[in-house]
C-alpha cells in the first residue's frame, strides 16, 4: 500500500495537533464564504480579546482595513498586511462623541500563548478559480502559512511540483497570499520554507528544532514543523525575522533562516549581558554569502526590544562598505521602524549622538575616529556593531610607523590603534563584531575589543544547507610565462601582506610594490593575460549560468590596460565589458569616459545585477570585492595578489546560490594558492578538510574522470564513435541510438544509473572544462545529449520536438562549439501528436525501436493524464490497456515490434474516439458523462444515440446546477448528488442491473470534475 499525499497530510495534521498543541478544523466543515480566505469567526474573537479596551467600532474599522486593499500588486498588499501584523492597525473612528485614533493589535507578541493557533486542511478559496490548499496555519484567524504537500510515493511528483503549485495559487487565489507570512513545501524527503517573493532555490530547510546541532546534516520533515511552528517560536519569527527589503519599486520579502534566528537571539543575549558588565558583546562569524547583512538587520530590530531602544553605531573600515551596508539597512527601514543615517563627519556623528538619549542607527567609518581622541558620547546605551571586526586596523595597541620626511630623513611616528581610538571616543559603549571570515588564532586585539565567538556558521554547514555554493580554484599562472625573478617578487608581496599588521613593513615595501605594478603592467604580460582570459572565457565560461565574470586587477592603471587590450581583441565586447573602480583628481583625461562618475557606477551595478543584461564582464581593483552580491556570478579572474580575509572575502563573490550553479570558479594568474591555504588555516576543522584545497585539478577533474568512466561502462556494447565525426546527421543518429540502447527493457536499472551519473558528469564538467582536451569535452557532450533526450522523453510535462532539438543543439554549441544543426528525429517531420496519422506512420518506421516504444508510451500516458482530469471512463480504459501492454513488454512477453503495434492500436483508438466525439456535438464535460452512461455496452441496445445524448445533457445540466464548492467533501451534499443521478436514471428506465455501476461511475466523474474545475 502506498503512503499517499492524503496519508502525508494526515501525518502533518497529527503532528500539529498532538505535538504542537494546535486546534484543528477540517476546511469543508467550516461554514463560511469561500471568497473570504480569513477564518473570520476566529479573527473577530481574537481581536476583541487582544484589545479589550477598544470599542466595537475600532475593532470593525481594523477588520475592514485588513480585508480591504486599494489597487497594488500582491507583494504590495502583502507588505501592507505585514506592517499591520507586526505593528498593529492604526484606526480612526467616531465613538459617538469625538473622532479617536487607536492602534489595534492583531497578535499578542508579549504573551504568545494568548493567541489562537489553528491548523486546517483542504481550505478552499474561490477567486479567479476555485482552489483548495493542502494545509493552512492560522494565527488568530489569519491564514499566515500555506503548506503544499506532494506524495512521497509517486515518482513523477516532487518538491518542485509543490513550489509550482504554490506559484499557481498565487495567480489563481491571490487573496489568500495577501495574509501570507511564509509558505512551506514538502515531499517528505525535502521540506523547505520561503516567502511569496522567493524563487525555489531560496526556499530553505530548517535544520534544528531548538537550536541544537544534532539535526543539521540531514533533517527529517518533522524538524521544520516542530522547529518553526512551536507557538512561541512562530510568533517571534513573524515579529522579528520577517522583513521587506525594498530597492526602488522592487521588494523582496526575507524570512530569517534557522542559523540566523538562533544566532541573532544568542547575540542579543550576549550584548545585553555585556552592556551590564565588560562591554564585550562577542564575535558573530557567519561565512560570507550566508546572509550576514540581514542578520545585522534582524539583530538591530530584536536589540531595540531587549535593551529598551539603544542607539546603534554601525562601524566599517571603508567608504564603499559603509555605503553598501547603509543601503541594506535603508531598504529595511520600515521593518526597523526608524531611518538609518550616514554620518558625514566626526562632528556630524557627535551631533547625532548628542541629539538623543535613545534609538537611532548611525553609520560611520573608522577614519572618522582618527580625527580626534575626545569622547563623542559617554552614554551607556550605545551598541557598536563592527562589520568585518578582525581587520588589522582594529588593533588596540600603539605602533611605530617609519615616515620619510620631505627632506629625506626618516622619523618614527607613534600610531594609536584604531580600536583604541573608537574605545576612547565611545568609552561606555558595548561592542559586537560581525564577520564573514574567522578571527586569526594570533589575533589577540579582536578578542580584547569584542570578546570570543557568539556563534559560528561555517562554510561546510552553509554549503550543506544550500545557503552558499563551494568555491573552486584553477591556476593559470603558467600561461603568463612569467620568469622566476618576477614570481619571486610576487611572493615577496604575499610575505608583506602576511605581516600587514606591522605598518613599517608596508611602508618599507611600497617601492617594491611599485616595481611589481610595472612588471604586472608590462604590455607583453597584459597581452598574454588578456589572450588567456578571452580563450578561457569563450571556451569554458561564457555559457556558465548567465556568463557573468569579474576580473580583479592589481592596480587602477592595470585595470585600464586590461580593458583597452580586451576591446582591441574583441571590439564587439564594448557593451559587454566595463571597469568599476574609484576615480582620482589626478587621473588621466582619457580615463574619465571609462570610469565615469558615481551615477555611472550605480548604472553599472544595476546592469551587472541584471541576469539578462548585456554587461557580462567587469574589471575591478578594490570596489565590489566585499559586500557586493550578484548571485549568478560564477567566474573570477584574479590578477592581484591577495591574502587572509581580503582574499576570502573577494573570492566569496562567486559563492552565491543561483539556479543549478555547482560552485564558483576562481582563475588564478598570480599564484594565490598558498595564500588560500594559509587563509583556510583559521577556519573550522571540517572546513579545512572539505575546502582546504579547492583546486579543480584535484577535486572536480578527478570527479569528472570517474563519472566519464562510469558513463562509458553503462553504454558498453553500443558504438557511438559516429558522434566524433563531422556529420551532423551521424551525430544525431548516435544520440538517438544511445537512447534506444538504454531503453531496452533489460536495461531499466542501467538507464536510471546513467541519467544520475551523466548529471554528475555535467556538474563536474562545469567546473573543470578548461582542463579537458577536445575528445573528453566531445564525449561528455555526447553523454549529456543522451541524458537530456532521455529525461525529456521520459520526464514530466509535454514533449516538443522543436524544443528537444533546440536544447540539444544549444548544448553542443556551448560544449564543443558546434555550429551544425542536428535533427534528432530525421524520420519525424511534424511535432509529436497522437492525432496526426502521418506522425504515427513515421513513428512506426523509426529505426530505433526501443525509442519508438518510449515515444508512443509517453504520448499515450500524456493523453491518459489529460483524461484523468476530465474523463474517468477513458482514463481507466486506456491506462489499463497501456499498463498491460508495457508490463508484457517489460516481462519479455512482447517484442518491441509487437508492443509498437499494440501502442499504435491504442493511439489509433484514441484518435478515432476524438473523431467520433465531434459527431455527438457534446462539450468535454458532457462527453465524460456520456462515457459514464454508456460504459456498459448493453446500454446502447436500450436507447438510440439521440436519446443517450439527451439524457447526457439533462444529467450534466442537473449536476452543474447543484454543484457547490466542496460538495464532494460533505457527505450531505454527496447524498444529494446521488439522489439527482438515481432520479434521472429511473426517469429514463435505465437498465436496473446497470444502475449501481452507472451511479458509481458518474459519482467518480463528479469527483474528478470537482477536483479539476
Q: Which of 247, 274, 290 is the last residue of a domain?
A: 247
| More confident of the two residues 935 and 196 | 196
Q: Does 466 reside within a domain?
A: no
Residue in 51, 49, 44 with CA at minimum distance from that of residue 67: 44
Comparing 566-580, 587-601, 637-651, 832-846, the range with the smallest average pLDDT is 832-846
Does pLDDT of 987 surpass 60?
Answer: yes
CA 569 to chain centroid, in Å, comes to: 37
| pLDDT value of position 906 | 84
| pLDDT value of position 927 | 87
List, as own/partner pairs, every contact residues 481-487 make where C-beta atoms lie below 8 angstroms and the sequence separation is at least 24, other chains included: 481/528, 482/525, 486/519, 487/671
Using 50, 70 and 90 to split pLDDT, how confident is the model at 834?
Answer: low
Q: Does 465 reside within a domain?
A: no
| The three grid cell numbers given for residue 176, joined into one nine-digit string | 489568500
β-pair partners for 620 = 552, 580
Q: Work out the burial of residue 925: count CB atoms within 10 Å of its CB; fewer than 13 is exposed, 13-18 middle, 19 or more buried.
A: middle
| pLDDT value of position 508 | 44
55 and 132 fall within a common domain: yes
Q: How far apart are CA 946 and CA 952, in angstroms?
A: 10
CATH of the domain at 311: 3.40.50.300
97 and 235 fall within a common domain: yes
682-to-500, 536, 672 alpha-carbon distances in Å: 17, 32, 17
How many CB atoms within 10 Å of residue 810? 12
Torsion sign across C-alpha atoms 161, 163, 168, 173:
positive
Q: Does 467 reside within a domain?
A: no
Q: Does 785 reside within a domain?
A: yes
Residue in 266, 246, 263 with CA at minimum distance from that of residue 254: 246
- The answer for residues whose C-beta is within 8 angstroms of residue 439's C-beta and 6 or more apart is 283, 285, 389, 390, 446, 447, 453, 682
190 and 82 fall within a common domain: yes
Structure confidence by residue, pLDDT tens digits, 125-179: 999 988 999 999 999 999 999 999 987 766 556 788 899 999 999 999 999 999 9
Q: Does 347 reside within a domain?
A: yes
Mean pLDDT of 28-51: 95
β-pair partners for 43 = none
Highest mean pLDDT among 202-206, 318-322, 989-993: 202-206
- The answer for residues whose C-beta is within 8 angstroms of residue 354's C-beta and 6 or more apart is 377
- Tell me if residue 692 falls in helix, strand or coil: coil
Comparing 14-18, 401-405, 540-544, 566-570, the range with the smallest average pLDDT is 401-405
809 and 792 fall within a common domain: yes
| pLDDT value of position 392 | 45
| pLDDT value of position 1002 | 83
Comparing 809-818, 848-857, 946-955, the range with the smallest average pLDDT is 809-818
Give percent of the chain with pLDDT exceeding 90. Answer: 44
- Tell me if residue 639 falls in helix, strand or coil: strand
Residue in 244, 377, 236, 380 with CA at minimum distance from that of residue 308: 380
32 and 161 fall within a common domain: yes
Structure confidence by residue, pLDDT tens digits, 99-132: 888 999 999 999 999 999 999 999 999 999 889 9
- Tell me if residue 683 falls in helix, strand or coil: coil
End-to-end CA distance of the chain: 29
| pLDDT value of position 348 | 93
Q: Give the torsion through C-alpha atoms of 684, 686, 691, 692, to 10 deg.
A: 70
Q: Which of 662, 693, 724 is the last residue of a domain?
A: 693
Q: How far apart are CA 883 and CA 863, in angstroms?
A: 14
CA angle 196, 199, 204 (to 5 degrees): 85
Longest alpha-carbon distance in the chain = 120
Q: How far apart are CA 996 and CA 998, in angstroms?
A: 5
| pLDDT value of position 224 | 94
969-to-132, 187, 1011 alpha-carbon distances in Å: 11, 24, 10
How does the average pLDDT of the chain come out, rounded? 85
| pLDDT value of position 501 | 42
Structure confidence by residue, pLDDT tens digits, 337-372: 999 999 999 999 999 999 888 899 999 988 888 777
Q: Give the torsion through C-alpha atoms of 765, 769, 774, 775, to 10 deg.
A: -30
Q: Does 378 reside within a domain?
A: yes
Residue appearing with cell numbers 492583531: 106
Using 50, 70 and 90 to split pLDDT, how confident is the model at 223?
Answer: very high
Mean pLDDT of 678-696: 82
| Share of the chain residues as helix, strand and coil, in percent rounded to the nearest 5 | 55, 15, 30
Does pLDDT of 217 surpass 70?
Answer: no
Structure confidence by residue, pLDDT tens digits, 575-602: 999 999 998 888 999 999 999 998 899 8
Angle between helices 728-742 and 748-768 (to 10 degrees): 130
The pTM (predicted TM-score) of the whole model is 0.83
Q: Which of 918, 953, 979 is the last residue of a domain?
A: 918
Give percent of the chain with pLDDT exceeding 70. Answer: 87
Determine phi and psi for 221, rounding to 5 degrees.
-60, -35
CA 936 to chain centroid, in Å, comes to: 52
Q: How far apart are CA 176 and CA 179, in angstroms?
A: 6
579 and 544 fall within a common domain: yes
880 and 994 fall within a common domain: no
Count the helices and strands in the chain (H runs, E runs): 39, 25
190-to-3, 149, 163, 222, 865 alpha-carbon distances in Å: 16, 10, 12, 10, 25
| The three grid cell numbers given for residue 483, joined into one nine-digit string | 620568469
Q: Does 267 reside within a domain?
A: yes
351 and 381 fall within a common domain: yes
200 and 232 fall within a common domain: yes
Residue appearing with cell numbers 522547529: 227
| The three grid cell numbers given for residue 670, joined into one nine-digit string | 598570480
Are the beta carbons of 321 and 340 closer than 8 angstroms?
no
78 and 34 fall within a common domain: yes
| pLDDT value of position 961 | 83
Q: Starting from the edge strand earliest in sequence, which strands make up the sheet with 430-435, in order? A: 341-342, 361-365, 311-316, 382-387, 430-435, 280-286, 453-457
- Tell me if residue 71 falls in helix, strand or coil: coil
- The answer for residues whose C-beta is within 8 angstroms of residue 411's C-beta and 6 or more apart is 402, 403, 405
How many CB atoms within 10 Å of residue 525? 19
**Number of structural domains the chain divides into:** 6
Structure confidence by residue, pLDDT tens digits, 474-515: 988 877 777 776 767 666 666 665 555 444 444 444 555 566
Residue in 378, 345, 349 with CA at minimum distance from that of residue 361: 349
Q: How far apart are CA 17 and CA 117, in angstroms?
A: 10
How long a stretch of residues is the chain?
Answer: 1013
| pLDDT value of position 403 | 55
CATH of the domain at 189: 3.90.1570.50
Does pLDDT of 814 surpass 70?
Answer: no
906 and 932 fall within a common domain: no
Mean pLDDT of 859-876: 81
Are the beta carbons of 886 and 857 closer than 8 angstroms?
yes
Q: How far apart are CA 773 and CA 755, in angstroms?
A: 23
Using 50, 70 and 90 to split pLDDT, how confident is the model at 35?
Answer: very high
| pLDDT value of position 89 | 96
Q: Does 19 reside within a domain?
A: yes
191 and 272 fall within a common domain: no
Does pLDDT of 551 surpass 90?
Answer: yes
Residue in 748, 754, 734, 749 with CA at minimum distance from that of residue 848: 734
| More confident of the two residues 837 and 132 | 132
| pLDDT value of position 797 | 57
Are the beta carbons of 722 and 733 closer than 8 angstroms?
yes
Q: How far apart are CA 722 and CA 730, in angstroms?
A: 6
Structure confidence by residue, pLDDT tens digits, 719-747: 999 888 888 788 888 888 898 899 888 88
**Residue 905 is part of which domain span?**
849-918
Amino acid at each position: 500500500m502506498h503512503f499517499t499525499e492524503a496519508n502525508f497530510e494526515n501525518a502533518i495534521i497529527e503532528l500539529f495537533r498532538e505535538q504542537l498543541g494546535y486546534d484543528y478544523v477540517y476546511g469543508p466543515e467550516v461554514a463560511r464564504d469561500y471568497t473570504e480566505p480569513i477564518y473570520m469567526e476566529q479573527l473577530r474573537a481574537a481581536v476583541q480579546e487582544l484589545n479589550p479596551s477598544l470599542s466595537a467600532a475600532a475593532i470593525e474599522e481594523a477588520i475592514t482595513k485588513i480585508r480591504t486593499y486599494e489597487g497594488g500588486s500582491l507583494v504590495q498588499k502583502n507588505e501592507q498586511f505585514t506592517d499591520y501584523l507586526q505593528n498593529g492597525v492604526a484606526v480612526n473612528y467616531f465613538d459617538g462623541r469625538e473622532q479617536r485614533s487607536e492602534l489595534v493589535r492583531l497578535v499578542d507578541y508579549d504573551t504568545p500563548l494568548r493567541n489562537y493557533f489553528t491548523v486546517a486542511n483542504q481550505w478552499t478559496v474561490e477567486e479567479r478559480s476555485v482552489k483548495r490548499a493542502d494545509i493552512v496555519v492560522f494565527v488568530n484567524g489569519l491564514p499566515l502559512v500555506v503548506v503544499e504537500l506532494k506524495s512521497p510515493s509517486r515518482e513523477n511528483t516532487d518538491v518542485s511540483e509543490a513550489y509550482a503549485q504554490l506559484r499557481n495559487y498565487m495567480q489563481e487565489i491571490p487573496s489568500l497570499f495577501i495574509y501570507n507570512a511564509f509558505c512551506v513545501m514538502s515531499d517528505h524527503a525535502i521540506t523547505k520554507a520561503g516567502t511569496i517573493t522567493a524563487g525555489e532555490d531560496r526556499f530553505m530547510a530548517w535544520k534544528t528544532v531548538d537550536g541544537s546541532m544534532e539535526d543539521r546534516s540531514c533533517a527529517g520533515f518533522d524538524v521544520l514543523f516542530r522547529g518553526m511552528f512551536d507557538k512561541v517560536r512562530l510568533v517571534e519569527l513573524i515579529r522579528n525575522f520577517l522583513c521587506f527589503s525594498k530597492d526602488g519599486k522592487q521588494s523582496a520579502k526575507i524570512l530569517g533562516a534557522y542559523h540566523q534566528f538562533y544566532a541573532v537571539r544568542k547575540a542579543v543575549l550576549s550584548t545585553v549581558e555585556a552592556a551590564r558588565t565588560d562591554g564585550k558583546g562577542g564575535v558573530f562569524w557567519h561565512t560570507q554569502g550566508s546572509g550576514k547583512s540581514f542578520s545585522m538587520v534582524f539583530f538591530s530590530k530584536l536589540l531595540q526590544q531587549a535593551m529598551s531602544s539603544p542607539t546603534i553605531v554601525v562601524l566599517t573600515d571603508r567608504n564603499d562598505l559603509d555605503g553598501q551596508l547603509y543601503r541594506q539597512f535603508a531598504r529595511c527601514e520600515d521593518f526597523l521602524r526608524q531611518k538609518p543615517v550616514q554620518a558625514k563627519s566626526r562632528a556630524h556623528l557627535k551631533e547625532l549622538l548628542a541629539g538623543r538619549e535613545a534609538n537611532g542607527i548611525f553609520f560611520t567609518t573608522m577614519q572618522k575616529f582618527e580625527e580626534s581622541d575626545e569622547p563623542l558620547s559617554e552614554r551607556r546605551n550605545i551598541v557598536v556593531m563592527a562589520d568585518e571586526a578582525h581587520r588589522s586596523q582594529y588593533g588596540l595597541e600603539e605602533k611605530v610607523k617609519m615616515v620619510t620626511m620631505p627632506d629625506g630623513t626618516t622619523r618614527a611616528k607613534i600610531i594609536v590603534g584604531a580600536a583604541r581610538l573608537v574605545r576612547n571616543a565611545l568609552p561606555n559603549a558595548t561592542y559586537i563584531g560581525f564577520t564573514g571570515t574567522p578571527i586569526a588564532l594570533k589575533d589577540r586585539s579582536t578578542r580584547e575589543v569584542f570578546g570570543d565567538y557568539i556563534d559560528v556558521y561555517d562554510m561546510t554547514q552553509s554549503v550543506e544547507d544550500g545557503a552558499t555554493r563551494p568555491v573552486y580554484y584553477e591556476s593559470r599562472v603558467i600561461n603568463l610565462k612569467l620568469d622566476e625573478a618576477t614570481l619571486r617578487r610576487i611572493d615577496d608581496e604575499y610575505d608583506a601582506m602576511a605581516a600587514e599588521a606591522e605598518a613599517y613593513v608596508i611602508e618599507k615595501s611600497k617601492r617594491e610594490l611599485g616595481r611589481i605594478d610595472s612588471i604586472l603592467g608590462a604590455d607583453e604580460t597584459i597581452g598574454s593575460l588578456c589572450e588567456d582570459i578571452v580563450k578561457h572565457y569563450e571556451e569554458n565560461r561564457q555559457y556558465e549560468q548567465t556568463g557573468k565574470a569579474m576580473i580583479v586587477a592589481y592596480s587602477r592603471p592595470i585595470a585600464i590596460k586590461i580593458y583597452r587590450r580586451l576591446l582591441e581583441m574583441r571590439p564587439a565586447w564594448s557593451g559587454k565589458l566595463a571597469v568599476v573602480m574609484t576615480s582620482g583628481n589626478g587621473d588621466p583625461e582619457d580615463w574619465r569616459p571609462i570610469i565615469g562618475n558615481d551615477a555611472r557606477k550605480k548604472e553599472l551595478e544595476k546592469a551587472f545585477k541584471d541576469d539578462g543584461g548585456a554587461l557580462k564582464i567587469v574589471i575591478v581593483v578594490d570596489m565590489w570585492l566585499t559586500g557586493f552580491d550578484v548571485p549568478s556570478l560564477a567566474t573570477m579572474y584574479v590578477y592581484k595578489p591577495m591574502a587572509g580575509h581580503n582574499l576570502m572575502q573577494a573570492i566569496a563573490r562567486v559563492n552565491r546560490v543561483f539556479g543549478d550553479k555547482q560552485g564558483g570558479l576562481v582563475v588564478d594568474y598570480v599564484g594565490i594558492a598558498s595564500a588560500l591555504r594559509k587563509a583556510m588555516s583559521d577556519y573550522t576543522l571540517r572546513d579545512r578538510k572539505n575546502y582546504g584545497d579547492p583546486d579543480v585539478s584535484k577535486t572536480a577533474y578527478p570527479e569528472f574522470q570517474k563519472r566519464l568512466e562510469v558513463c562509458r561502462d553503462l553504454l558498453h556494447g553500443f558504438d557511438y564513435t559516429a558522434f566524433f565525426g563531422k556529420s551532423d546527421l551521424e551525430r544525431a543518429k548516435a544520440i538517438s541510438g544511445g537512447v534506444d540502447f538504454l531503453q531496452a527493457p533489460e536495461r531499466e536499472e542501467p538507464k536510471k544509473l546513467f541519467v544520475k551519473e551523466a548529471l554528475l558528469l555535467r556538474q563536474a564538467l562545469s567546473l573543470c572544462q578548461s582542463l579537458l582536451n577536445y575528445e573528453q569535452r566531445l564525449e561528455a557532450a555526447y553523454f549529456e545529449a543522451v541524458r537530456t533526450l532521455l529525461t525529456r522523453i521520459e520526464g514530466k510535462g509535454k514533449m516538443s520536438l522543436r524544443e528537444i532539438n533546440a536544447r540539444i543543439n544549444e548544448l553542443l554549441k556551448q560544449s564543443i562549439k558546434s555550429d551544425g544543426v542536428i535533427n534528432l528525429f530525421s524520420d519525424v517531420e511534424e511535432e509529436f501528436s497522437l492525432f496526426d496519422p502521418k506522425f504515427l506512420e513515421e513513428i512506426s518506421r523509426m529505426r530505433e525501436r526501443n525509442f519508438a516504444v518510449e515515444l508512443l508510451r509517453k504520448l499515450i500516458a500524456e493523453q491518459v493524464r489529460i483524461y484523468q482530469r476530465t474523463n474517468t471512463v477513458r482514463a481507466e480504459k486506456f491506462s489499463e490497456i497501456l499498463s498491460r501492454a508495457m508490463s508484457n513488454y517489460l516481462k519479455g512477453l512482447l517484442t518491441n515490434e509487437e508492443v509498437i503495434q499494440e501502442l499504435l492500436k491504442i493511439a489509433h483508438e484514441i484518435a478515432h474516439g476524438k473523431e467520433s466525439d465531434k459527431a455527438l456535438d457534446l462539450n468535454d464535460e458532457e462527453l465524460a458523462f456520456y462515457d459514464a452512461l454508456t460504459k456498459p455496452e448493453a446500454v446502447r441496445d436500450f436507447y438510440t444515440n439521440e436519446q443517450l445524448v439527451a439524457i447526457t445533457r439533462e444529467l450534466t445540466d442537473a449536476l452543474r446546477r447543484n454543484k457547490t464548492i466542496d460538495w464532494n467533501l460533505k457527505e450531505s451534499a454527496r447524498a444529494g448528488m446521488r439522489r439527482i443521478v438515481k432520479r434521472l436514471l429511473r426517469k429514463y428506465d435505465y437498465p436496473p442491473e446497470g444502475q449501481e455501476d452507472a451511479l458509481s461511475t458518474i459519482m467518480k466523474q463528479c469527483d474528478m470534475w470537482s477536483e479539476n474545475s
